[in-house]
Amino acid sequence: MRPVLVITHAPHEGPGAVARALADVPYGVRTVLDVAEPRLPALADVSGVVVMGGPMDADDVAGHPGLAAERGLLAAAVDADVPVLGVCLGHQLLALALGARLHRRTAHEVGFAPVRVVADDAVLGGLGAAGSEPTVLHWHSDEVDLPQGATLLASSDVTTVQAFRAGSAVGLQFHPELDAAMLDLWLATPDMIAGLEDDEIAAIRDDGARHLPGLLAASARAFGAFAEQVRARG
């Protein structure tokens, strides 16, 4: 079976629950963030593409030249009907690859809060059907417009485009990939908690203990649906 390409941007922002859903699917993890001309695999040689989060701005190609190659790969993957999953920064890169705009520092959300699911989707449906409001983990300050022709899947009061579907690709602004250990790592990583007060950190930790057990099962369903799409191609 052709492997899934997983692209990461920070050592503490790995695939988490996505990797568990791909347990019987080969996958390789690459970080090409600061490589001007990375050698990425041909789309004919992969069964899917996953792009994870990171602290940088999605349009900061001058500071992180590898982002341009990631955007090119994402655009080509959608054109080729390759299953794509973008999470947080990956969601923003996917939107940019499809012609949407990025808005910096207009949508600060950090912590557990609900999103409104506004359309049914095979992947997002693992978290909730249209009309539901699952509580998820947010950790972002930037937001994107909805790409032309894409379907809005979820919103929040702060961020209009929390999730979208564009052909073979789905973007998620929030973080269903985390488990308790990964959340603990984030809360111990200075870059992640910069600007947060001690009581905010404590609230996120307490909310994680309350919400993550249910989210783990929901995330397994969501990413399991993505894995099925990958198997169908692979």
Please pick, among 9, 64, 70, 88, the residue that the annotation labels catalytic: 88
CA distance 134 to 131: 10
130 neighbors 81 (Cβ within 8 angstroms): no
Pair 61, 27: CB distance under 8 Å:
no
Considering 9, 64, 140, 175, which one is annotated as catalytic?
A: 175
Residue from 13, 109, 143, 177 carrying the catalytic annotation: 177
177 catalytically annotated: yes
- The question of whether 175 is a catalytic residue gets the answer yes
Nearest by Cα to 218 from 179, 182, 186, 161: 179
Residues facing residue 221 across a β-bridge: none
Ramachandran quadrant class, 6 (left: phi over 0; alpha: psi -120 to 50; beta: rest): beta
Residues serving a catalytic function are 88, 175, 177
